[in-house]
Structure 1
């Protein structure tokens, strides 16, 4: 009989409004379906507080605190101090994130503002010796440039969307590659190549829930236990046992998020 997966979701947004009506029910459901850990990632200024609160209410949830590039305008003079203060009081905040660059939407804050906010948070991660959760959309070159400015910082490039070459550069810098449900889509050829080339000990799996649900749930609200489909897909690509892959990805997550480096 096949062993039951022990799933760790390395990137989720359970404080998102899409879970407002049934959050507790969903979190109980994912637990019953083999989810043993979740990294909830802040995005907006408001979600610093809501992510922190989730980690206090649920023993299997840890948090990442940061301002997302789409919300870069929300970074005020004292925001970094606020993040620091949450981290000081709560040892379940294990990373700085979700931070980075997003050049996809024209209405996003200007590129200069995004880069400034990204650098400030990378500096904070360096200061606190914490890993980062990086968001990179249509901004590969600038993202890599800023990552290189902080050689002491490592983390994960979440919802990876770049080329094999870009992945190799990230891995060289000590980063992990985060795969979402997109890897299960029929048109994910480029991502399949990345999964083939990425070393097993540099892969993390994630939902980015409520977004990015994998096949066969594409288009639905995403939940952490759907990660099983992502694990199975990567195991198939790499021609390894799915349960062994599951354990390896969990090991990778713990290696990255342990505070004592």
Structure 2
């Protein structure tokens, strides 16, 4: 039994020494009492430099120090700790995202005396997840938020409890189909990307410009005062009268715009439908004035 116990101890020591996980023990005075080689490598400091130092001066991001101290105090007081995830400072002050499993260590009398923290560097994993989310919410052709991102934003603005409402411009390019049919999809795609960039340049810093699909674009304006929507619609109309430079030569298209204001509690698809209906009204009125205008 003695030899088995020693073997188990030696194995435990070897695991702590060899694991790539970041292992440290923090006592009730918030000082590091144990670090493993992975922590030494992560921080760029030796165990002699780390042991005895306050943990919050070693790896905790400055803006998280108060929360970290509170979490440690609560765990020591209650004897219970919960998994966490936060930014840690690696060697050279580089920020890394670390997922933590924390356990409370008890003395022989059963009282909490320290916390054992096992951290995993999940920076690349979180970056991949964020990139996947961006791709899932981004229109590949124009780089704008796509339909999914648009409706996510509308749900937030129109939430019956937390939303403050929003205005919406529904923009449909006039004459795009003729350009696409005449010059081909490559030219048409370039024109859509340039139209998106022009529309984005006119939007305010808090506005969301999204591609709904095809040659339809939407601008979401938080708050959405009707007067502001009308002014923005006029600016967009004027801007789209300017020709677009293109490898096929200068191309001229127009834009039909409808707008509507949504209040908290309104369904996003209903707001989009109202702005869409207003856009078709504007397109019909223009055609009546000038039957030769592109649709």
- TM-score, normalised to structure 1, is 0.24
Structure that is richer in strand per residue: 2
* Structure ranking higher on relative contact order (CA contacts 8 Å, 6+ apart): 1
- TM-score, normalised to structure 2, is 0.22
